[in-house]
Amino acid sequence: MPVGSGTTSGAQAVRRAVNLLRVLSMARDSGYGLTDLARLTGLPHPTVHRMLRALMEEGLVEQKGATHRYVVGQEIQFLALARAPQTPLMTAAESHLGRLADLLGDTLFLTQRTGAETICVARRLGAYPVQVVPLRVGDRRPLGVSSAGLALLAALPADEARRILVLNAPQLAEYRLTVEASAAMVRDARRLGYALRDRGIVPGTRAISVVLRDAAGLPSAALTVAGVVRRLSHRRTSDIAETLWEAAARIERSLG
């Protein structure tokens, strides 16, 4: 065996296991079957099965008795208790989110980038009687699906955005999207300066997102407002985007 090959193999196994957990987390309580996981990770069935068995032994993955589908295990929650209850982003954004939701009247989301995905870290409801709630706190989406992911990709160099979309191709297919379709929406977002998902994940809705940058100036999160089409009309999109930009600037100043 070549020198260092064991270390390389071990690192690859860890990365594969972490990616498998990330994919599982996207399904939340409904879980995924073995075939789904093999397709979404691009790994052979036997490899995925061996990884699942090892993760189950450690409590990081569980299998539902009725459906035999796999879900993230309870041990993940216990490990998360070692972290502080709030991230720096949430600490900076907390005081702004409620006011922004009240101002806009529709559902507001704060989404953070994690690798090639986004995760919803906060949701606030507005006062309008019909609220659009396609995401729960903790829901993950591959970059290239939601308006938040499109806004984040548009803020990256074009070649890096393309690389991420190609990497996410199997996950995009789950939402009936192709790399080219998502790339076109990214180009539109780059041109506008904000992302408009004209047909939201929920039929009859729209979503508008702007990017939040961290202290180093890197795109790390997004503010999104989602509503029914008649609320987020094309006449209002630029005004809504302006309101989101102003709120994003305030949060960025709070981040330091």
Q: Note the pLDDT of residue 77.
A: 79
Q: Note the pLDDT of residue 209.
A: 96
Give the C-alpha separation, 71 to 64, whole Å: 7
Q: Note the pLDDT of residue 31.
A: 87
Q: Note the pLDDT of residue 192.
A: 94
Give the pLDDT confidence of 106-121 residue by residue, as tens digits: 999 999 998 899 999 9
- Residue ranges of the chain with per-residue pLDDT less than 50: 1-5
Residue ranges in the chain assigned as alpha helix (H): 5-26, 34-41, 45-57, 74-80, 88-104, 147-154, 158-167, 169-174, 179-192, 237-255
SS3 3: coil
Q: Collect all residues with Cβ–Cβ distance below 8 Å to 234 and sequence separation of at least 6.
A: none
> Which pair of tokens denotes residue 144?
């290239």
Q: Note the pLDDT of residue 10.
A: 79
Q: Note the pLDDT of residue 163.
A: 96
Q: Note the pLDDT of residue 254.
A: 87
Q: Note the pLDDT of residue 233.
A: 86
Question: φ and ψ at 66, to 5 degrees?
Answer: -75, -40
Q: What torsion, rounded to 10 degrees, do the Cα atoms 217, 220, 221, 222 define?
A: 60
Q: Note the pLDDT of residue 3.
A: 42
Could you tell me how many residues make up the chain?
Answer: 256
